[in-house]
Amino acid sequence: MSRGEGLSPYFTVTLRGRCRLHELLSHLYVLIPVLDNEKHYWVGDDEVDKLLRHGEGWLAQHPERELIAHRYLKHRRSLAAKAIERLMEEESPELETTEEAAREEEAIVEAPLSLNAQRLGTVLAVLRESGARRVVDLGCGEGKLLSLLLDDRRFERIVGMDVSSRSLDIAADRLRLERLPPHQRERIQLLHGSLLYRDKRLEGFDAACAVEVIEHLDPPRLAAFERVVFEFARPQTVIITTPNREYNVKWETLPAGQFRHRDHRFEWIRAEFQAWASAVAERFGYSVRFLPVGPEDPATGSPTQMGVFGLKND
Ligand code: SAH
């Protein structure tokens, strides 16, 4: 590279090499703004995608990749960090699985398995057994179940719905929605909405779950939820879990008479949940069976109760 006449900011550059024109152009596309160190338009998230697309096959191994990312993204530190992180991931695809393994191990070491993990495991097992391919998670929260569903290819269409947009943002992060390859990205969708209003987007699923959601609804609103799920969305299978109040005495840290969470509007004993679920099943043409989740105690039952509803085909 040689500088032109005088103190001009322009350079005369000679490039030598044998490569495909397409590769050369990709390099230039990235390196010209890097050498120029000036970008005259707004640098947003999609610039990270552009950088990675044009840097495919060479940038990850480039000795100056940090500098390149930093300059290309116009010194936006967070974007450059994002780009580098993604480059590293693309370089070592097993990174994610390692993370997962670590998380699983954590759960195993944390004996007994956390109630939350047991609950999600049971929901997943019931979903698999039901043969469902299209699943909607009602009140999906931060997307833990969605992430398990995404890991299992048999689930072709996965939708999470929640009334809290903050929870949905966290779910999108947890699921790395923005980074999923297209064949994964098209399997999953997050919806912002309330389970108290009829919603066409909830129709056409094989199964719906509401995991630890009903106890967050005001009792007078429960009837609306029932119609939304069992009358309008009407999937073949519905899985509902809720705390079993009888088990609360087993938690020494929980003061007597108190709910497990301050946003819980009620916590039912087994007889209450079973009476509610049976009445709902009867009214809407479903059958229902009950499954324990978590360690079962002869006196109190298990900490979580689960109702599995199956649409009666008549
Ligand atoms: N299913 C998740 C979250 C349970 S917490 C899990 O098991 O981890 C209860 C969730 O229900 C919260 O995310 C809350 O925002 C959501 N929720 C409460 N009322 C709702 C409503 N009317 N419509 C949709 N979601 C609701």
Task: Provide the residue ranges of all domains of the chain, joining segments of one domain with +.
Answer: 21-91, 95-311
Contact between 192 and 165 under an 8 Å Cβ cutoff? The reply is yes
Q: Which helix (H) or strand (E) holds 196?
A: none
Q: Pull the structure tokens for residue 189.
A: 């969708």
Q: Is any ligand 1 atom within 6 A of the Cβ of residue 212?
A: yes
Choose the residue to mutate in 162, 168, 229, 265 for probing ligand 1, maximizing ligand atoms within 8 Å of C-beta. 162
pLDDT for residue 255 = 82
Q: Is any ligand 1 atom within 6 A of the Cβ of residue 242?
A: no
pLDDT (average), residues 84-96: 55
Asked whether the CA dihedral 228, 233, 236, 242 is positive or negative, the reply is negative
Looking from the CA of 92 toward its CB, the CA atoms found within 13 Å total 9
Q: Pull the structure tokens for residue 111.
A: 């004996």
pLDDT for residue 267 = 95
Contact between 228 and 157 under an 8 Å Cβ cutoff? The reply is no
Query: How high is the mean pLDDT of the chain?
Result: 85
Q: Is any ligand 1 atom within 6 A of the Cβ of residue 167?
A: yes
Q: Is any ligand 1 atom within 6 A of the Cβ of residue 228?
A: no
Residue nearest to atom 9 of ligand 1 (CA): 213
Q: Pull the structure tokens for residue 54.
A: 């044009």
Residue nearest to atom 23 of ligand 1 (CA): 194
Q: Is any ligand 1 atom within 6 A of the Cβ of residue 195?
A: yes
pLDDT per residue as tens digits for the range 140-194? 999 999 999 999 999 999 999 999 999 999 999 999 999 999 999 999 999 999 9
d(CA 273, CA 268): 6
In this prediction the pTM is: 0.68
pLDDT at 291 exceeding the cut of 60? yes
Residue nearest to atom 15 of ligand 1 (CA): 164
Measured in Å, residue 142 CA sits from the centre of ligand 1 at 9
- The ligand 1 atom at the shortest distance from the C-alpha of residue 141 is 13
Measured in Å, residue 146 CA sits from the centre of ligand 1 at 13
**pLDDT-based confidence at residue 51 (cuts at 50, 70, 90):** confident
pLDDT (average), residues 88-110: 45
pLDDT at 65 exceeding the cut of 60? yes
Measured in Å, residue 137 CA sits from the centre of ligand 1 at 10
pLDDT for residue 94 = 41
Q: Which amino acid is residue 181, in one-letter code?
A: P
- The ligand 1 atom at the shortest distance from the C-alpha of residue 241 is 7
- The ligand 1 atom at the shortest distance from the C-alpha of residue 221 is 22
d(CA 69, CA 230): 51
- In our burial notation (b when 16+ CB lie closer than 10 A, e otherwise), range 131-154 reads ebebbbbbbbbbbbbbbbbbeeee
Q: Is any ligand 1 atom within 6 A of the Cβ of residue 148?
A: no
Choose the residue to mutate in 216, 227, 242, 266 for probing ligand 1, maximizing ligand atoms within 8 Å of C-beta. 216
Q: Which CATH architecture has domain 95-311?
A: 3-Layer(aba) Sandwich (3.40)
**pLDDT-based confidence at residue 257 (cuts at 50, 70, 90):** confident
Report the candidate in 90, 113, 93, 115 with the shortest Cα–Cα distance to residue 103.
Answer: 113
To 5 degrees, how large is the angle CA 211–CA 205–CA 148? 45
Q: Is any ligand 1 atom within 6 A of the Cβ of residue 71?
A: no
Please give the share of the chain, as a percent, with pLDDT higher than 90: 55
d(CA 75, CA 63): 18
**pLDDT-based confidence at residue 95 (cuts at 50, 70, 90):** very low
Residue nearest to atom 4 of ligand 1 (CA): 212
Which residue in this structure is represented by tokens 């999609």?
A: 46
Q: Pull the structure tokens for residue 234.
A: 């009407």
